[in-house]
Amino acid sequence: MSQEVIAIEGGHKLKGTVRISGAKNATVALIPAIVLAEKPVEIMGVPEISDVDALMVLLKELNCEVELEEDTLKVNPETMINTPLVSDAVDKLRASYYFMGALLGKYGDVTIKMPGGCYLGPRPIDLHLKGFEALGATITYDEKMGSYHLHADHLKGNRIYLDFASVGATINIMLAAVRADGKTTIENAAKEPEIIDVANLLTKMGAKIRGVGTDTIVIEGVDYMGGAVHEIIPDRIEAGTFLIIAAAMGNMVLIQNVIPQHLDALLSKLREMGVVFEIIGDTILVYGNIEHLKPIEIKTQIYPGFATDLQQPLTAFLTQAEGQSKVTDTIYTARFKHCAELNKMGANIEVGDACCYVNGKTDLHGTRVNATDLRCGAALVVAGLMADGVTEIGNVYHIDRGYDNIDRKLIALGAQISRYEVDD
């Protein structure tokens, strides 16, 4: 049996310009949000990632008319039918759970399989379900089918306190609440930019939402939501990944279509390491060629703290710092599978309790490694670009879930990358 791998010949300096695509973590919520509309919705800046393909399959299963032209997604929900979402497409990404809130809001009824996606340790959807129950939904779980059934004769607004400022729960409850009767207040809401982007689309469709970007969101339910045209914000995680790549192997790399304030935590840490860059409007110029990188400590936090999605790519770069760095993840405490893969390449990383210690500087060498999840894949790309020799990365479907044409973008900067089939 064979599988596709990404092969990277390390050691090549990168130079040029790269443009960041639309935000993956916004896109995977924006697409389910469309089903709340009664008229056509057009979304521009859609990244070319496999998660979008899976969500389009689910829209088609709901009998929506779906058309994707370049980076513009056009969806007509006027022919929509509320059917159970129990196909394999649900298993391909965790964000399929956003159909829970959207379909519950529109129809008061939804059946959906337990969603899939990367395994990063326990990620229960209890907060989502508690929020739906607070709005008046009854929830049953069919163990045999592995699916949830949510039903409400009438959703009614309520005050909902989140025990944890969860991005997924904040968005999902918001999707249901925009069509509930009366006022819903979400307290201890998450503040990520992707939530603001989803709220902006919902507002264009007719929702009444205020307080997004703060820890208290207030939603006045509406009876009708129409069509809209919306452009997705740039992907701060892709931008952060390319910042790390440019810092590691760049020689004057210009990163375009960036919202710099979304990256304040990462930029601060890169500056602390000794990376030299310049912010020019919506672009960041990374000079690269740093001889002596300083070790740092990072601790992932909810936004605007250091993003958990960037700790894995940064860990790869920290192997080149002179001394011991510590990385603590307070969001996904089991998100350290990349460390074993990096150690295969010559890194010296010790994994502790919800943290790792990166001992540098170490020389990395190419070998066969596997992407255990999306951002582990990004970490291995960073490592492969720095390593001596060829690195073969397996399970590349994880990378394709979240990075729009990463091979092509890196090749345009001067990287030596190819894809081919190998025997397992």
Output the tens digit of pLDDT for each of the chain's 424 residues. Answer: 788 999 999 999 999 999 999 999 999 999 999 999 999 999 999 999 999 999 999 999 999 999 999 999 999 999 999 999 998 888 877 788 999 999 999 999 999 987 754 444 444 688 999 999 999 999 998 888 888 999 999 999 999 999 999 999 999 999 999 999 999 999 999 999 999 999 999 999 999 999 999 999 999 999 999 999 999 999 999 999 999 999 999 999 999 999 999 999 999 999 999 999 999 999 999 998 788 999 999 999 999 999 999 999 999 999 999 999 999 999 988 899 999 999 999 999 999 999 999 999 999 999 999 999 999 999 999 999 999 999 999 999 999 989 999 999 999 999 999 999 988 7
Catalytic residue list: 118
DSSP state of 365: B
Burial of 261 (0-12, 13-18, 19+ CB in 10 A): exposed
Contact criterion met (CB below 8 Å) for 327 and 318? yes
Question: What pTM value is reported for the model?
Answer: 0.94
How many Å apart are CA 138 and CA 156, to the nearest integer?
A: 13
Reply yes or no: is the peptide bond before residue 193 cis, omega within 30 of 0: no
- Assess whether the previous peptide bond of 269 is cis (omega < 30° from 0): no
Angle between helices 126-134 and 167-177 (to 10 degrees): 20
Residue type, 179: R
pLDDT the model gives residue 119:
44
The side-by-side arrangement of strands in the sheet containing 355-360 is 297-300, 323-329, 355-360, 349-351
The neighbouring-strand residues paired with 358 are 325, 349
Work out the number of other CB atoms within 10 angstroms of the CB of residue 35.
24
Phi-psi region for residue 289, left (φ > 0), alpha (ψ -120 to 50) or beta? Answer: left
Whether 349 and 323 have beta carbons less than 8 Å apart is answered as no
3-state DSSP percent of the chain in helix, strand and coil, to 5: 35, 30, 35
